Amino acid sequence: MRILVIGSGAREHALVWKLVQSQRVTQVYAAPGNPGMLPYAECVPLGATQYQELATFAEQQHIDLTIVGPEVPLVDGIVDIFQQRGLATFGPNAAGAALEGSKAFAKEVLTAAGIPTAQHHTFTSATAAFTYLEEHGAPVVVKADGNAAGKGAIVALDMATAHDAVKQMLVERVFGAAGDSVVIEDYLQGDEIGATAICHGTHYLPLTLSQDHKRAHDGDEGLNTGGMGVFAPLSFVPPEQETSIWRTIIAATLQALKQRGILFTGVLYSNIMLTERGPMVLEHNTRFGDPETQAFMLLMREDLLNVLNFAEVMPVKQETLWHPGSAVSLTLASGGYPGTYRTGIPISGIEDANQLEGVQVFHAGTTLRDGQLVTAGGRVLSVVARGATLPEAVQKVYEAVKYIHFEGMHYRKDIAKRDLHIK
């Protein structure tokens, strides 16, 4: 098979890395790709939002399957465009991707279906939002309705922060059109986890639960980021609770979409809070998570093509889906991220880190300048390790980081702390 992967980050690098291990794959293209993919994929100079050009490329190169990584193309309807031209694509159409593209729509679906989620209200007027805040009080979570690169949700533990969040979104327009409307929801307390499933209509293949570390600094301090690290699976979630999550959240959401005439195909990745009242949905994502995917691909034993097409090929069983043990993904970020940061800084040591057993470094924000690998984004690299146990995976990932260097590099030093029972 000839495969096209759309995207340029560590998530797409991990997908490409896993795909080339399949005996059924003969050629992988990445658009636009990144330098880390060059050893095993052909990078195509097309951006992830050049939809018609990408479809024409897929036709000309006789691509058998296109896998879409980022959320923006999915929300914009790239799958609809490809399908109209008879091109096989993995990912939801625009109607399904609206579950991520619009927080208000997602809340509407969840509430109507009785799927547990925080109480909420949607506003397009700053005045109305401020009035509601005065009546409701803090803490709350203020979310931009549209896509904001993972930074559009502000946890406001006090009224000043809540007012500032509404002002940023509805008055100062810091998130642009994504903040045309905002959702203000009740603040939920508990452990936040992720549940990822491959879906074909109402049929789904559960992958595994994971825990992302969204804050920039240790101890969950600092600003929200696109993700500073993740680990999987989660031993602190009881098996019966995990079973309930798949049934009452994932399956129920797919059924709710079907009732609206939406047959969802692709990845449903749900952020869930384990509260005293049980698991509750924070938000749904309609694509592979980042940095979750990097950990999943190292942990996955099954052919990725079989996983994506689980409804059409021989059954994929949980006992053969994964390698035993755990995987940890650690983000190496530019100095200043998620705020202002420099780019073009030389990177060294990746090859040495990749020599360690059970370790793989995926490129998130890199580029080549005169033959030198340099930084090109806020999240620069994902260092991933798999171990027979979680402590072993954690030890491996931090050992690998010692080999890598670029000026200003920073990363969290407490990944997987929750499951390691470290105080």
| Positions of CATH 3.40.50.20 in the chain | 2-95
CB 109 within 8 A of CB 260: yes
Amino acid at 269: Y
Does the pTM surpass 0.85? The reply is: yes
Whole-angstrom distance, CA of residue 335 vs CA of residue 333? 6
Whole-angstrom distance, CA of residue 7 vs CA of residue 48? 6
CATH class of 119-185: alpha beta
Whole-angstrom distance, CA of residue 332 vs CA of residue 327? 16
The structure tokens listed for 108 are 């509407």
Residues linked to residue 224 through DSSP beta bridges, in sequence order: 215
CB 132 within 8 A of CB 123: yes
| HSE-up of residue 236 (Cα within 13 Å, Cβ side) | 16
| Positions of CATH 3.30.1490.20 in the chain | 119-185
CATH class of 2-95: alpha beta
Torsion of CA 379, 384, 390, 393, to 10 degrees: -120
Whole-angstrom distance, CA of residue 350 vs CA of residue 383? 9
Q: Which of 40, 8, 44 is nearest to 376 (CA)?
A: 8
Sign of the CA dihedral running 9, 283, 138, 211: negative
Residue-by-residue pLDDT tens, the chain, 423 positions: 999 999 999 999 999 999 999 999 999 999 999 999 999 999 999 999 999 999 999 999 999 999 999 999 999 999 999 999 999 999 999 999 999 999 889 999 999 999 999 998 999 999 999 999 999 999 999 988 877 666 678 889 999 999 999 999 999 998 888 788 898 999 999 999 999 999 999 999 999 999 999 999 999 999 889 899 999 999 999 999 999 999 999 999 999 999 999 999 999 999 999 999 999 999 999 999 999 999 999 999 999 999 999 877 667 888 889 999 999 999 999 999 999 999 999 999 999 999 999 999 999 999 999 999 999 999 999 999 999 999 999 999 999 999 999 999 999 999 998 887 643
Whole-angstrom distance, CA of residue 244 vs CA of residue 239? 9
SS3 content of the chain, % helix, strand, coil (to 5): 35, 30, 35
| HSE-up of residue 81 (Cα within 13 Å, Cβ side) | 19
CB 299 within 8 A of CB 230: no
Distance of CA 309 to the CA centre of its chain: 20
Q: What is the DSSP string of 310-379?
A: TTTSSPPPHHHHB-SSEEEEEEEE-TTTTSS-----B-B-HHHHHTSTTEEEEESSEEEETTEEEE-SSE
CB-based contacts of 115, cutoff 8 Å, min separation 6: 109, 248, 249, 252, 253, 256, 281
Q: Which of 68, 142, 71, 69 is nearest to 100 (CA)?
A: 71
